[in-house]
Structure 1
Amino acid sequence: MRNNLPDLFPGFDSLTVEVEDEWLFCRTGGSGPPLLLLHGYPQSHVCWHKIAPRLAEHFTVVAADLPGYGQSSVPPLSDDHAAYSKRSMATALAEMMRILGHERFLLAGHDRGGRVAYRMALDHPGLVQRIAVLDILPTSAYWDRMDRQFGLKIYHWMFLAQPAPFPDKMIAASPIPFLEHTLRSWTAGKDLTCFTSDAMTHNRAWFCDPDRIAATCEDYRAGAHIDDAHDRMSLDLGHQIEVPTLVLWGDKGIANSVESPLDVWRTWSPDAEGLALPSGHFLPEEAPEETFEALYRFFGN
């Protein structure tokens, strides 16, 4: 990973936190109540760069790279995909926050980071004070809706979840075109204009690493197996998210492909609130002003 990448978080510290046998990279800055920001696929903590400085005026912001992504370490792949389960990621990130001195914190996650976020709220309810999930439905809810229309829209769920090393090697043979196609196809405008040149430099730098490509595929393999099982177990046991929950989605995003995302989320968090923003899938970069305002209003309560 290059160490001369553009600094998109001026005034923030860069930290590498060792958690058991892995290390997690994060940028942290600001003051006030701690707020953990988690990114999605195929991105890193950089996806928050348009709004993190403004959030840091009100909160102690921690923008972290998920295991296997960006500049965090790459856990080993396994037959049960356990290291990439959202339960495992949530546990590691919760421990990272404890090491940083944050015993309780606010939490926002986009895409895959949203899956880590809601799993953390379910598994560690005493740690999370409020949670925001951006442009997702729960993992099991997506699988239950995987008909022809929905499958075509999120085809990557099936492709990336194929056994290793098939999708890993296919992507590694041409990583940048795959990355740019994926980013472009999920925006409202079907182009890359919402992503700054410096942010794309970051995205391209880490997505060229075959080990990290394999890690991101393993993330989706976990989603198709162990994560889905964890979701269904939580539903069977009647577990719910017990803290205030904000649901944001793009009016041209992926989550908007089904009936009201808010109605789906209220199965998991009965008092959840939320709204659609003028955006495709990448709310923090396509609609930074609206995303900031929504998060500030919710977390500033």
Structure 2
Amino acid sequence: MTLEIPGFTTRRVPVADGVSLHAAVGGQGEPLVLLHGFPQTHLMWRHVAADLARDRTVICPDLRGYGASDKPPATGPETYAKRTMGADVVALARALGFERFALAGHDRGALVAFRTALDHADAVTHLATLDVLPTLDMWDVLHGADAQVAWHLYLMAQPAGLPEAMIAATADTFFASFLDGWTGRPDAIVPDVRAEYLRASREAVPSIVADYRASAGIDLEHDRADRAQGRTLDMPTLVIQQDWGARLGYDAQALWGAWATDLVHRTLAVGHFMAEESPGTVAAELRALLAR
């Protein structure tokens, strides 16, 4: 029995041929979709979602390949392309009765949100991304020894077979290393939630690796094509990040500013799992975005 967000109901919603998403839905009013990161599930939004559901409809799905959502085999790079996963999000919102919605994502979910907003600008009213760079910029800023902070990106970018076998052989240790090493507040991810993240990730190794592998291939191609065409995010956009730029030598606000024409950029003194470490701050920032 998986954990759920108190006060939310869960649904299984078909979004593509043979693919259904598990989603927690709560509240009433204008819709906001919240996309989780790695190595987590929709449960990472439990505090923020409960806050925001006081005056809007909040939809928290497990991404394709994660949690209790379907995990189709990667028959090609498109299976876990962020373009495909973004189409899932739009289909989910429409199935729940919403043609337009605000969208926020953390980590992997932020990459899906970014792609969704570029590909479906008519559907996304507001965009927020938490602690990530767009795929194109992420690969560009990783250089030399400093790139070791993103070692897992390189591991999971390798051809199918070896990464899946290596991770599956030590799954709990692998996924726990991120939950423990990336948090600024160890008590933010309580034991039962941590156990749920490990269980869900352990059962999703092939699809998680396929998601990451797509970011070293097809997702990068899509970002490059958009950059060449001058496509931008023109909806109100919020970016919240740690100050990784100081360590890796880049200006995060400038990188995001090249994509977003209506940008508010915030740097927070928190760990990576900011929605769990500082949910009041994240909820307040999202409310400010939605008021724009």
Taking structure 2 as the reference length, what is the TM-score of the superposition? 0.95
Change (3 A) 1:5 1:244: same
Q: Which residue in the other structure is 2:221 paired with?
A: 229
Answer yes or no: is the 8 Å Cα contact 1:165–1:214 preserved in 2. Answer: no
Question: How many Å separate the matches in 2 of 1:272 and 1:256?
Answer: 23
1:220 aligns with 2:212: yes
Change (3 A) 1:10 1:256: farther
Answer yes or no: is the 8 Å Cα contact 1:278–1:287 preserved in 2. Answer: no
Q: Which residue in the other structure is 2:230 paired with?
A: 238
1:152 aligns with 2:143: no
Q: Alignment partner of 1:95: what SS? A: helix
Question: How many Å separate the matches in 2 of 1:254 and 1:205?
Answer: 32
Change (3 A) 1:281 1:133: same
Q: Which residue in the other structure is 2:29 paired with?
A: 32
Of residues 16, 26, 46, the one that matches 1:49 is 46
Question: How many Å separate the matches in 2 of 1:267 and 1:286?
Answer: 29
Gaps of 5+ in 1: none
Superposition pairs of residues 1-301 of structure 1, within 5 angstroms: 4-7=1-4, 9-21=5-17, 22-78=19-75, 80-188=76-184, 192-209=186-203, 212-251=204-243, 257-301=248-292
Question: How many Å separate the matches in 2 of 1:93 and 1:262?
Answer: 26
Give deviations 1:126-157, integer Å, cap 9, x for gaps.
Answer: 00000001001110101112212442111111
Question: How many Å separate the matches in 1 of 2:130 and 2:121?
Answer: 19
Change (3 A) 1:156 1:255: farther
Tell me the matched-pair count: 291
Cα RMSD after superposing both structures: 1.6
Of 59-68 and 194-203, the range deviating more from structure 2: 194-203
Q: Alignment partner of 2:126: what SS? A: strand
Question: How many Å separate the matches in 2 of 1:146 and 1:185?
Answer: 19
Change (3 A) 1:254 1:200: farther
How big is the shift at 1:76?
1.6
Answer yes or no: is the 8 Å Cα contact 2:141–2:250 preserved in 1. Answer: no
Q: Which runs of 4+ in 1 moved over 6 A?
A: none
Give deviations 1:222-246, integer Å, cap 9, x for gaps.
Answer: 0000000000000001110111100
Q: Alignment partner of 1:113: what SS? A: helix
Answer yes or no: is the 8 Å Cα contact 1:90–1:117 preserved in 2. Answer: yes
Question: How many Å separate the matches in 1 of 2:235 and 2:146?
Answer: 30
More helix by share: 2
Answer yes or no: is the 8 Å Cα contact 2:234–2:262 preserved in 1. Answer: no
Q: Taking every aligned residue pair, what percent have the same amino acid on both sides? A: 37
Q: Alignment partner of 1:155: what SS? A: helix
Question: How many Å separate the matches in 2 of 1:176 and 1:223?
Answer: 23
Question: How many Å separate the matches in 2 of 1:126 and 1:143?
Answer: 28
How big is the shift at 1:20?
2.5
Change (3 A) 1:132 1:258: farther
Question: How many Å separate the matches in 1 of 2:3 and 2:110?
Answer: 26
Gaps of 5+ in 2: none
